[in-house]
Chain A
Amino acid sequence: MAEDLVKLDIEERGDVVVAHVSGELDIAGASRTGERIAENVPTSARALVVNFSELEFIDSSGVAMLFGLARRLGSRRQQLRVVAPGGDAVSRVLEIVEFDRAAPIYTDVDEAIADVGADGDGDGDGDA
């Protein structure tokens, strides 16, 4: 199956790009999904919010993609925020790999966007 299990919707809220990722994110679609998200983040954007609220599954490939995005944005001085509702398998995985060391995790998209402003110049590495 060349088709993606993953579905990606890009939303721009001001200077924040929100990427809604749903479906299952595994080795079959992770890297391509990461590239597509990166393509949709212009240099003018202040931050990227990756919304995993609808994501059913993530494995290490998805995690690797997320770390990759974090590095890429960091080098462009753009912030990365991840939304994961918690209590599900996705949150558990992010927790295990301690992704919150790379980017802050929120339970809600609005909260994440609001935090972009609060975070000021938003150094993605900084929160732990």
Chain B
Amino acid sequence: MRRLPDLFDSRVKARSLAYLFSAGAALGLITLALPHGDAVKDLQLIVLALLAIAIAAIVWVQADRVSEWQLHVILACGTLILTLANYWTGAMSLYPILYVWTALYAFNFFDWRGAAGQMVLIAVGYAVVLIAQDPESPVVRWVLAVGTPTIVGLLILWMQSRLREEVARSEEGARELRESESRTRLVLDTAPDAFIAIDGEGTVMTWNAAAEALFGWTAAETLGNRLRDFIFPPGGREGHDARREEVVSAPEQIKVSRFEVELQRRDGSTFPAEETISRVRVGDDLLVSGFIRDISGQRRRQQEREALLREQAARAEAERVAEMVSGMQLLVDAALTHDQLDGLLGDLVTRVRGVVDADAATIYLTEEGERLVARAASGTRSTPSEAVPFGEGFAGRVAVVREAVLEQDFDPSRIRDPALGALGLRSLIGVPLVADRDVRGVLVVGAVNPRHFTAEDVGLLRLAADRVALAMEHVRLYEREHRVAVTLQRSLLPERLPNVPGFAVSARYQPAATEPGVGGDWFDVIPIPGGSIGLVMGDVAGKGLVAASMVGQLRSALRAYALEGHEPARVVEQLNRLLWTDASESRMATLVYAVVDATGAGVRWVNAGHLPPMLAIDGGTPRFLEGGRSVPLGVLPFPTFEEVSASIEPGATVVLYTDGLVERPGSHIDAGLARLVEVVGEAPDDPEALCDHVLEVLVPNGGASDDVALLALRNIPMGDRFNMEFPTQPEALASMRALLRRWLRHAGGSEQEIAEITTACGEAATNTIEHAGARAGAPFELSARLEGDEVELSVRDYGAWRAPRPGDQGRGLSLMRALMDSVEVEPGPQGTTVRLRRRLNGA
């Protein structure tokens, strides 16, 4: 059983005992004042009363020091005194009543054992008294004297136990309350969040440790003061007042609110905080308490999280953009690396398919009559070949609406193209390829999954289509221009070099390997009437169609001026005027124009800003034909073009070239020229072999970074005999005569002899030409032979000899016979040979 608390402390017990003794003594003395029998021994009773009073006085004085057991002894003494008094008063007195008082005290202040002990003492003592007195009905008296206090005492015990339990309960409650309070305080003090309580006026009632730590104000500083002066930044106080007002005036009994506010520390720094405020109305009093949490970390984490998300999104976006850009770049690259449409389309369609991650892609091009023809496909097994009219099928629809079309859930059976239809495409995008406001084609991508493409893909594809259209247009234009330019340039370069008797001519033109454009390099070999030969090597600034057309103008003009018989300087002057006055183009050209005279004795040249011609001498070191240099064409209105000449020995070779042959990136042109001297010096004599050798050494691997043009003319040394074919055309006669004169001079003929023999030979050739008939253009052959001092010339054709008709035509034969020593006509089945002989007498 739980030990119940004492209801009374020892001092109360002691004083009560003193009251009991003094009251008993007083009662005893008062009883003596009343009339009483003789049996009462007054003196003894007065002594007992005085004794009781003395004990009462001692106990009163010593009340703080009296112990529990002393109280028991004193009470027992009291019972003894009472028993003596009962003895001395006689059997009829009321003194037994006093036992009740004693018993009540014992039951009231002692536990039940102490009380029982006192009751035993009373019972025994009174029993002894009754026996000694021998009164009437002593048992009844005893029972009354002992029973009454016992019953009352037991009643008191019961009541006391009830009282004690209540006290115990009340103490327990108080203890629990204390413990709860200390726990709350502990919780508040150790709470991570600041806890502040204020009353309705805003005065701080509670300020926990976390609040101290958070704000830097101690509880001592804040308690009893107004909260608004501590934790709010200057601008935030009105907000606090408003919030407090709102919280305070809310009609609810308990109101809880949350706020995010900016709060201030003691040092003035601010931080974002979350306030959880609850208001409790306790009667007329208000208590507003708030938990305050610094959420800067939380906010920072949230911001970090948001930043991370944003960064991830940005990175994803960047990657997507990068992918898109690189995809677009691929498209642009494709446009730059292709000069042919079909190659470009094939490349583009594959790349476009990659850009939007499609299963299939097709590029249709618009053909005549508004029809679309698939020109390139990727992801399909075959390129559909059937033309789709505008307006029909998916691609046709796109061509008509001229807008991007997105089909998210297409019925594959509606696809016209069997090649695409077989793939079961469900998601389609079609975009028109528009250039110059014309639909040049349609780009279609498809995916097997429905809803595969997004609106973003449409945008992407639209961008791609722009580039594809641009690339196509670029290549289309390029193709056209390139085709025209190449055609033009090929038409401008001599298709076949003229056959110039006594000279061997070779030329090479090698387009740049790396540059797709058509260069402005050109050359020409012009047989000038009278047997001399014009050599041209030029370079027009620029490339492509414009350069090619400029070359065309220069070439035509030069030929015209040259054939009019103008001197080289005059020819070049005319060309300069042509370029200078051509106001539409600010054009520049370099050019060497050299004329090798018919006798083969010399060369005259003009150099308009070009690299110097080279003269390669049999068995010697080649040298440059310096001099005769002037500004390029088209630079000055009236420049002076100096004409310079040099002799060319038989066996010498004139070499003309453009800068592409000698210029190399990163090396000086002098090095290139020196190398050219070296290479030409070791090259074979024959111009064909020479050109091959020079190109092989200086332009290996089939191309330089620039165009290369090379022209070589060799003055073939003449021996005692030669054999040459000429076309059966009147125009060939002059060349034949030039060659023949050279040879006759070599053979030692006098001018007169040379002229006469040439005339005779010309007559033979003329006869052949006049009778060429259907064989016009087939060659005739001239053989010359020097035997001692006799010249033998044979003119052989491949037709039947016609006997000269009378009249004018007969004069040819007459002339031959008159001019030569002998004339023999030898008809044969394969042709006719006229053999002329004449002995040379020399000058």
A-to-B contact residues, CB < 8 Å: 1-5, 7, 23-24, 26-28, 57-61, 63-64, 67, 88-89, 92-93, 96-97
Contacts and interface: CB of A to CB of B under 8 A. Distances in A.
Interface in B334-348: none
Contact of A97 (B733, B755, B756, B815): B815
A36 B561 CA distance: 22
B812 interface: yes
B730 interface: yes
A9 to B, nearest CB: 13
Contact of B752 (A4, A23, A89): A89
A61 B766 contact: yes
B733 A26 contact: yes
A27 B752 CA distance: 21
B759 A57 contact: yes
Interface string B806-836: 0011011011001100000000000000000
Given A57-B737, A96-B818, A97-B814, A4 B529 contact: yes
B436 to A, nearest CB: 45
A121 B766 CA distance: 38
B527 interface: yes
A27 B563 CA distance: 18
The 7 closest A-B pairs by CB, nearest first: A89-B755, A28-B730, A64-B808, A1-B731, A3-B563, A5-B529, A60-B812
B731 A2 contact: yes
Nearest to B818: A96
Interface in B761-776: 762-763, 766, 769-770
Contacts of A1: 527, 529, 563, 731, 734
A27 B530 contact: no
Contacts of B731: 1-2, 28
A85 to B, nearest CB: 13
A97 B808 CA distance: 10
Interface string B537-565: 00000000000000000000000000111
A3 B762 CA distance: 18
B794 interface: no
A2 to B, nearest CB: 7
Contacts of A26: 730, 733-734, 762, 766
A2 B559 CA distance: 12
B715 interface: no
A96 B769 contact: no
Contacts of B815: 59-60, 93, 96-97
B742 to A, nearest CB: 15
A121 B759 CA distance: 36
Interface string B727-766: 0001101100100000000000000100110110011001
Contact of B734 (A7, A24, A96, A97): A24
A89 B733 CA distance: 17
Contacts of B565: 7
A2 B731 CA distance: 7
Contact of B733 (A3, A28, A58): A28
Nearest to A29: B730
A86 B819 CA distance: 16
Nearest to B529: A5
A1 to B, nearest CB: 4
A34 B818 CA distance: 25
A92 B756 contact: yes
Contacts of B763: 59-60
20 contacts: A2-B731, A5-B734, A26-B730, A27-B730, A27-B770, A28-B731, A28-B733, A57-B737, A57-B759, A59-B759, A59-B812, A60-B811, A60-B812, A63-B811, A64-B811, A67-B808, A89-B758, A92-B819, A93-B759, A96-B815
Give the interface centre of B808, B809, B811 by most chain A CB atoms within 10 Å.
B811
B737 A24 contact: yes
B733 A60 contact: no
A59 B762 contact: yes
B530 A97 contact: no
Give the interface centre of B752, B758, B814, B815 by most chain A CB atoms within 10 Å.
B815
A30 to B, nearest CB: 9
Nearest to A6: B529
Given A57-B758, A60-B809, A67-B808, 10 more contacts: A1-B529, A1-B731, A5-B530, A7-B565, A24-B737, A26-B766, A27-B730, A57-B737, A58-B759, A63-B808
Nearest to B565: A7
B766 A27 contact: yes
A57 B763 CA distance: 12
B758 to A, nearest CB: 7
Interface string B559-583: 0000111000000000000000000
A54 B762 CA distance: 19
Contacts of A97: 811, 814-815
Contacts of A57: 737, 755, 758-759, 762
A4 to B, nearest CB: 7
A92 B760 CA distance: 12
Nearest to B816: A60
Nearest to A68: B808
Contacts of B811: 60, 63-64, 97
A67 B809 CA distance: 12
Nearest to A4: B529
Nearest to A7: B565
Contact of A96 (B527, B766, B808, B819): B819
